[in-house]
A = this chain, B = another copy of it.
Amino acid sequence: MSSSHLPGPLERRAQTFSGRSVEVLRDMVLSGRLKPGQRLNEVELARALEISRGPLREAIQRLASEGLLRIVSHRGAYVRTFDADELRDLYELRIALETHAVRLAAERMTADDVADVGGLLDETGDMLAADDERPYPEELDFHRRIVALTGNQILLSATVEVHQQIHLARSRSGQQPRRARHAYDEHRAVVDHVAAGDGEAAANLMRAHLYRSLENALRIFDASPGDT
């Protein structure tokens, strides 16, 4: 569980080739420019990034530690692939993090926080009504926002990392509809309970919500071409 891999509001842009490469590579993996299972040729990649292999290898080590790449001795680094069991494992980890997060959020959330998240949900609702579906950013942004409300930076970093892995795992399924309508209602219900200070209920709702999301993800996943 790394704790310092997101840009951060105060942290100015990485000033080293190695650091910049981490961000560039992560973006290439998450955007699908590098596909799951694909091998990274160090010489070729270094030339493309206009750096030498040293800093590139450091970046690869970091992303491997984040779970986005997998390194095989003397054979190279590959974009990580996930089977159905691993996707389930990832979701269980996510559920662990986010159910506890809402519990904490319910204890600590201020009136301003409630308003902020409410505003976020309203925007999402508008987007849904406008049928302008861009499911990924909004969906995960809500969950990230909730965790951010705990004020626990370490918990947030861990959550972001898991979200990224899940995004990668699901990427092979293409951009399927993510049951946005139902998810929206469930988000609203979670926030209501958090705002009311009922962490227990919020946690239960979040757990149910994420388990439904998991089932949905697995259904899509099983219907897609395998990863081996």
Residues in B neighbouring A162, C-beta threshold 8 A? 1
A41 to B86, CA, bound (A): 38
Of the candidates A58, A59, A86, the one having the most CB atoms from chain B within 10 angstroms of its own CB is A58
- A154 in contact with B90 given A61-B58, A62-B65 (CB within 8 Å): yes
Interface size on A, residues (CB 8 A): 44
- For the residues of A in contact with B, the DSSP-based class is helix
Contact flags A103-135 to B (C-beta < 8 A → 1, else 0): 010000000000000000000000000000000
Which one of A2-10, A31-39, A171-179, A185-193 contacts B? A2-10
Name A18's closest neighbour in chain B (CB-CB): B61
- Say yes or no: is A93 at the interface (Cβ < 8 Å to chain B): yes
* A 129-152 binary contact with B (CB < 8 Å = 1; else 0): 000000000000000000000101
A residues whose Cβ falls under 8 Å from a Cβ of B: 1-5, 14-16, 18-19, 54, 57-59, 61-62, 64-67, 70, 73-74, 86, 89-90, 92-93, 95-97, 99-101, 104, 150, 152-155, 158, 161-162, 165
